[in-house]
C-alpha cells in the first residue's frame, strides 16, 4: 500500500541533509510496499512547492532534476498505490488545497468522500483529480479557514471528525514552516524522534537512516511535529500518548519491517490485508456495493455457472470459493487450472461467469484462459492484487484485493485476501439473486469483520507453532488432511512446504485416506489434520476425528488444527493448535495461518531462503 514520509528539521542542526534528502531516501526505503506514482511537497520561501509523477521513484527524481525544488527543512513525501482514480500524474499525491497553500498526502480510503465532495462542490471548490485524498485536503483547507482560526492541528481535528474509513493523513501549510500534522485511523503511522528533527512514516523504514528512536501511535490519534517537539492528541483534541520504542535492526533490513524475511512479514500483514480487502465494500444499510465490477447486475442474475480459473495457491483460494458460493448462491462452481482449461474444449457461454484469480494479474496461463473464455462469449471477472495489470484490464470486471505488495515468492497474505474477495463476490451475487436475506448477508459481513482480530490472535501465539516446526527440522515428508473447506487448506499447507522447504508434502481429502493414501503412513509420519468445527457439521467432525485415529493407529505423528473448545481431539493428537471460533465457511482464513507459520519456520530452520525459493518466480508470465 502507500508509503508516507514526513519531516520537520533545522538546517543548522542537520547540515548534511534537508527535507528533500529525507523524503526521497524514505520513499526509496518504502518502495517494497508497491506503488504506481510518487510525489513530494516542501515548505520554503513562504510557499508550498510540489512535484509528483506517475511511475517509479526515478521518474519523480528526474522531474525534480529538471525543475529543482528550493532548499527546505519541512516536507511530506508519498508513494501511491491507486485506489480512487487510476495511476496518473494528476492523481498522484500530494494534493493541494486552500489556494495552493496547503498540501496533503494520504494512505487508505475515505468511505464518505462522495457526500463531502458534493458539499464542497456546492461551495465552489474545484477538483483536479479523481481521488478521495483531494476531497480530504479540500475539507482540511475549509476547516483551516473556517473554524480553526489558522491552527493546522485544530483544523485536522475538525476534519477527521467528518471522515469515515481508514486513513493516514499528513499535511503541511505555507503559513506554518517547520510543522507537519498527521492523523491516523485504521492505517499505519509511526513517529521518529531525532536531534533537532522529527519524522513520520508508514513504518520505521521511512526514517531508519536517520534515527532508531520511534513512537508507536494509537488508533484515532493526531500528531504534530516540529524540529524540537511533538504533541499527540485524540481526534477530539484531548492529550494522548504514544508508546516509544527503539528499533533494534539496521537499515538493510528496514524493507522487511524488522522481520527476518519478507514471507514472515507478509504472514504478519494478514490482519491488515483482510481488513483492507473488506474496507469500503458496503453502504450504510449494509448492502454490498462492489463498484469495480462493471458488469450489469441484470447480466449477473442470469448467470447459471461459474468457472474459477487460477494456478497454484490462487487455485486453492478458488476451491474455498466453490464451497461458499455454491452454499450462498446455489450456482454450480467449477474450479479449473488455467493451463488445462482451454485445451479440453470447455463448455462456456454467455451465461457463464469466468472468475480469474491472480495476485499479479500477469499470470500468462490465466490470461490466455481468460482470452479463450471471452472468445466463447462468457462474462469475465478478475480478482487481482495489482492495479492496472493485464488480466484486470482485459476482463469485463475486476475485484481488487488490497493486500499490498507481496514480495516473497510463496504467497501468504494474497491467498487470504483472495479468499476474502471471493466471499464478497459470493455475497454480492446472493444479494442480487435474492438467495440470502439482507439480514443474513449483514451477519456474514459482521463475521468477516471479526476475522482480522482473530488472525492477530493466532499470530500472537505463533511461538507454539514455531517451536513445533523447529523440532521437525529434519522431517523429509509431511502429509495434510482436511474435509469440506479444510481440504483446500490442507493442499495449501502442503504446497507451502514444497515451495520453501523442498520436502515431500501432500494434501488429501480426509475421506480419500482409505482409498489409497493411507499406505503412506508408517511409524513417525507427521500428519497435519484440519478438523472442522464441532458446531453445525457434527457428522464431518466425527468422521475427521475417526481419520485421526486411523492414522495414529498406524504410527503417525498427528498434528491438529482445531477450533477453540474442541476437546475431542486432545486424546488422539501429539500437538493441537487451536484457532478462534468462526462460521465453517470462513474457517480457511484462520486455519491456513498456522500452516503458513509452520512452513516458514521449518524452512528457515533448514537454512533455506524462504523469500526466493529455488526454481520459482513470483509471477509466471510464460505459459
Q: Is residue 13 over pLDDT 80?
A: no
Q: Is residue 232 over pLDDT 70?
A: yes
Banded pLDDT at 15 (limits 50, 70, 90): low
- How much is the mean pLDDT over the chain? 91
Q: Which of 305, 442, 606, 618 is catalytic?
A: 618
Phi, psi of 617 (to 5 degrees): -120, 155
Q: What is the pLDDT of residue 412?
A: 97
Task: State the DSSP code for 616.
Answer: -
pLDDT by residue (tens digit) across 274-301?
999 998 888 777 788 876 677 888 889 9
Alpha-carbon gap, residue 504 to 495, rounded angstroms: 10
Q: Give the torsion through C-alpha atoms of 161, 167, 168, 170, to 10 deg.
A: -60
618 is catalytic: yes
The residue out of 423, 458, 493 marking a domain boundary is: 458
Q: What is the pLDDT of residue 14?
A: 64
Phi, psi of 360 (to 5 degrees): -85, -25
Please name the helix (run of DSSP H) or strand (run of DSSP E) that holds residue 40, with its range, or none.
strand 37-44
C-alpha cell at 557: 505423528
2 is catalytic: yes
Banded pLDDT at 251 (limits 50, 70, 90): low
Residue 4: beta bridge partners? Answer: 78
| Backbone torsion region of residue 98, taken as left when φ is above 0, otherwise alpha when ψ lies between -120 and 50, otherwise beta | left
Asked, for residue 612, whether it belongs to a domain, the answer is: no
Alpha-carbon gap, residue 469 to 606, rounded angstroms: 10
Which is more confident, 388 or 609? 609
**Co-location of 315 and 450 in the same domain:** yes
Alpha-carbon gap, residue 33 to 219, rounded angstroms: 21
Asked, for residue 621, whether it belongs to a domain, the answer is: no
pLDDT by residue (tens digit) across 453-509?
999 999 999 999 999 999 999 999 999 999 999 999 999 999 999 999 999 999 999
In 3D space, the residue among 45, 378, 26, 361 whose CA is nearest the CA of residue 207 turns out to be: 26
Asked, for residue 502, whether it belongs to a domain, the answer is: yes
Residue 481: beta bridge partners? Answer: 508, 529
Residue 180: beta bridge partners? Answer: 225
Least confident of 8-12, 64-68, 246-250: 246-250
**Co-location of 494 and 595 in the same domain:** yes
Q: Is residue 316 over pLDDT 60?
A: yes
Question: Residue 12: how many CA atoms within 13 Å on its side-chain side?
Answer: 2
Laid out side by side, the sheet with 477-482 consists of: 504-509, 477-482, 526-530, 557-563, 575-579
In 3D space, the residue among 228, 206, 185 whose CA is nearest the CA of residue 76 turns out to be: 206
Alpha-carbon gap, residue 618 to 263, rounded angstroms: 12
Residue 175 to residues 9, 98, 172, Cα–Cα distance (Å): 16, 11, 9
**Co-location of 30 and 161 in the same domain:** yes
Residues whose CB falls within 8 Å of the CB of residue 168, separated by 6 or more in sequence, listed in order: 4, 106, 107, 108, 182, 183, 184, 185, 187, 188, 189, 202
Asked, for residue 252, whether it belongs to a domain, the answer is: no
**Co-location of 287 and 240 in the same domain:** no
pLDDT by residue (tens digit) across 568-593?
898 889 999 999 999 999 999 999 99
Which is more confident, 218 or 159? 159
Q: What is the pLDDT of residue 252?
A: 54
Q: Which of 2, 311, 384, 600 is catalytic?
A: 2
How many C-beta neighbours within 10 Å does residue 344 have?
8
Count up the domains in the chain and report the number. Answer: 3
Least confident of 13-17, 92-96, 315-319, 502-506: 13-17
The residue out of 458, 484, 508 marking a domain boundary is: 458
Question: Residue 493: how many CA atoms within 13 Å on its side-chain side?
Answer: 33
3-state helix, strand, coil in the chain (%, to 5): 40, 25, 35
**Co-location of 63 and 203 in the same domain:** yes
Site of grid cell 474509513:
165
Residues whose CB falls within 8 Å of the CB of residue 601, separated by 6 or more in sequence, listed in order: 465, 466, 469, 470
Asked, for residue 257, whether it belongs to a domain, the answer is: no
Q: What is the pLDDT of residue 623?
A: 53
In 3D space, the residue among 117, 152, 98, 104 whose CA is nearest the CA of residue 2 turns out to be: 104
**Co-location of 147 and 204 in the same domain:** yes
CB 30 within 8 A of CB 76: no
Asked, for residue 214, whether it belongs to a domain, the answer is: yes
**Co-location of 212 and 101 in the same domain:** yes
Q: What is the CATH number of the domain that holds 588?
A: 3.40.50.10490
**Co-location of 278 and 295 in the same domain:** yes
**Co-location of 83 and 114 in the same domain:** yes
Residue 545 to residues 220, 529, 548, Cα–Cα distance (Å): 45, 9, 5
Q: What is the pLDDT of residue 622?
A: 42
Q: What is the pLDDT of residue 484?
A: 94
Phi, psi of 98 (to 5 degrees): 55, 50
CB 37 within 8 A of CB 79: yes
Alpha helix (H) ranges present in 218-352? 262-268, 270-278, 297-301, 312-329, 338-341
How many percent of the chain have pLDDT more than 90? 69
Helix axes 413-433, 588-605, angle to 10 degrees: 170
The residue out of 403, 435, 458 marking a domain boundary is: 458
Q: What is the CATH number of the domain that holds 115?
A: 3.60.20.10
**Co-location of 509 and 412 in the same domain:** no
The boundaries of the domain holding residue 99 are 3-247
Mean pLDDT of all residues in 17-30: 92
**Co-location of 532 and 592 in the same domain:** yes
Asked, for residue 560, whether it belongs to a domain, the answer is: yes
Laid out side by side, the sheet with 379-384 consists of: 333-337, 305-310, 352-358, 379-384, 397-400
CB 254 within 8 A of CB 229: no
Asked, for residue 292, whether it belongs to a domain, the answer is: yes
Q: What is the SS3 assignment for 519?
A: helix
Q: Is residue 32 over pLDDT 70?
A: no
Task: State the DSSP code for 288.
Answer: B
Q: What is the pLDDT of residue 621?
A: 42
Angle at 271 between CA 263 and CA 251, to 5 degrees: 45
Q: What is the pLDDT of residue 332?
A: 97
**Co-location of 481 and 362 in the same domain:** no
Alpha-carbon gap, residue 44 to 146, rounded angstroms: 25
Amino acid at each position: 500500500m502507500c508509503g508516507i514520509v514526513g519531516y520537520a528539521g533545522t538546517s543548522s542542526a542537520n547540515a548534511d541533509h534537508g527535507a528533500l534528502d529525507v523524503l526521497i531516501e524514505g520513499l526509496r526505503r518504502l518502495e517494497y510496499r508497491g506503488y504506481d506514482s510518487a510525489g513530494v511537497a516542501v515548505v520554503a520561501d513562504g510557499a508550498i512547492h510540489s512535484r509528483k509523477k506517475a511511475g517509479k521513484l526515478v521518474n519523480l527524481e528526474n522531474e525534480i532534476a529538471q525543475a529543482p525544488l528550493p532548499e527546505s527543512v519541512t516536507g511530506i513525501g508519498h508513494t501511491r498505490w491507486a485506489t480512487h482514480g487510476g495511476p496518473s500524474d494528476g492523481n498522484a499525491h500530494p494534493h493541494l488545497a486552500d489556494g495552493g497553500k496547503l498540501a496533503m498526502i494520504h494512505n487508505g480510503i475515505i468511505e464518505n468522500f462522495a457526500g463531502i465532495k458534493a458539499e464542497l462542490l456546492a461551495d465552489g471548490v474545484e477538483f483536479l483529480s479523481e481521488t478521495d485524498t483531494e476531497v480530504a485536503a479540500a475539507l482540511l483547507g475549509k476547516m483551516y479557514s473556517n473554524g480553526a482560526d489558522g491552527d493546522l492541528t485544530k483544523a485536522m481535528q475538525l476534519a477527521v471528525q467528518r471522515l469515515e474509513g481508514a486513513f493516514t493523513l499528513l499535511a503541511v501549510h505555507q503559513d506554518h514552516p517547520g510543522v507537519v500534522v498527521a492523523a491516523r485511523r485504521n492505517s499505519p503511522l509511526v513517529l521518529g524522534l531525532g536531534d533537532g528533527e522529527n519524522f513520520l512514516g508508514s513504518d520505521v523504514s521511512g526514517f531508519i537512516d536517520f534515527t532508531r528512536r520511534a513512537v508507536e501511535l494509537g488508533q484515532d490519534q493526531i500528531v504534530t511535529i516540529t524540529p524540537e517537539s511533538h504533541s499527540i492528541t485524540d481526534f477530539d483534541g484531548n492529550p494522548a500518548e504514544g508508546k516509544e520504542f527503539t528499533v533494534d535492526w539496521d537499515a538493510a533490513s528496514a524493507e522487511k519491517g524488522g522481520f527476518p524475511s519478507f514471507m514472515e512479514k507478509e504472514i504478519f500483514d494478514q490482519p491488515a490485508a483482510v481488513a483492507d480487502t473488506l474496507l469500503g465494500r458496503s453502504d450504510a444499510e449494509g448492502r454490498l456495493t462492489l463498484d469495480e465490477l462493471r458488469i450489469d447486475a441484470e447480466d449477473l442474475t442470469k448467470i447459471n455457472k461459474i468457472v474459477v480459473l487460477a494456478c497454484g495457491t490462487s487455485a486453492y483460494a478458488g476451491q474455498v470459493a466453490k464451497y461458499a458460493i455454491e452454499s450462498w448462491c446455489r450456482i454450480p462452481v467449477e474450479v479449473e487450472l488455467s493451463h488445462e482449461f482451454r485445451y479440453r474444449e470447455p463448455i462456456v457461454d454467455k451465461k457463464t461467469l469466468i472468475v480469474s484469480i491472480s495476485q499479479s494479474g500477469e499470470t500468462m496461463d490465466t490470461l490466455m484462459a481468460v482470452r479463450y473464455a471471452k472468445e466463447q462469449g462468457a462474462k469475465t471477472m478478475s480478482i487481482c492484487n495489482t492495479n492496472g495489470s493485464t488480466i484486470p484490464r482485459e476482463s469485463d470486471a475486476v475485484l481488487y484485493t488490497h493486500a499490498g505488495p507481496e514480495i516473497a515468492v510463496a504467497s501468504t497474505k494474497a491467498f487470504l485476501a483472495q479468499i476474502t474477495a471471493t466471499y464478497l463476490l459470493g455475497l454480492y451475487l446472493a444479494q442480487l439473486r435474492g438467495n440470502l436475506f439482507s439480514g443474513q448477508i449483514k451477519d456474514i459481513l459482521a463475521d468477516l469483520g471479526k476475522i482480522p482480530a482473530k488472525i492477530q490472535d493466532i499470530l500472537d501465539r505463533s511461538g507454539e507453532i514455531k517451536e513445533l516446526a523447529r523440532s521437525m527440522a529434519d522431517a523429509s515428508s509431511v502429509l495434510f488432511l482436511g474435509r469440506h473447506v479444510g481440504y483446500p487448506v490442507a493442499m495449501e499447507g502442503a504446497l507451502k512446504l514444497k515451495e520453501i522447504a523442498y520436502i515431500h508434502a501432500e494434501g488429501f481429502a480426509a475421506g480419500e485416506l482409505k482409498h489409497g493414501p493411507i499406505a503412506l503412513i508408517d511409524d513417525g509420519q507427521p500428519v497435519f489434520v484440519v478438523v472442522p468445527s464441532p458446531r453445525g457439521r457434527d457428522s464431518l467432525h466425527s468422521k475427521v476425528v475417526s481419520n485421526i485415529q486411523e492414522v495414529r493407529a498406524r504410527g503417525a505423528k498427528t498434528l491438529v488444527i482445531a477450533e477453540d473448545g474442541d476437546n475431542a481431539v486432545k486424546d488422539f493428537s501429539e500437538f493441537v493448535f487451536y484457532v478462534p471460533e468462526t462460521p465453517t465457511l470462513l474457517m480457511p482464513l484462520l486455519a491456513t495461518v498456522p500452516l503458513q507459520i509452520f512452513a516458514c519456520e521449518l524452512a528457515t530452520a533448514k537454512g533455506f531462503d524462504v523469500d526466493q525459493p529455488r526454481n520459482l518466480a513470483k509471477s509466471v508470465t510464460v505459459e
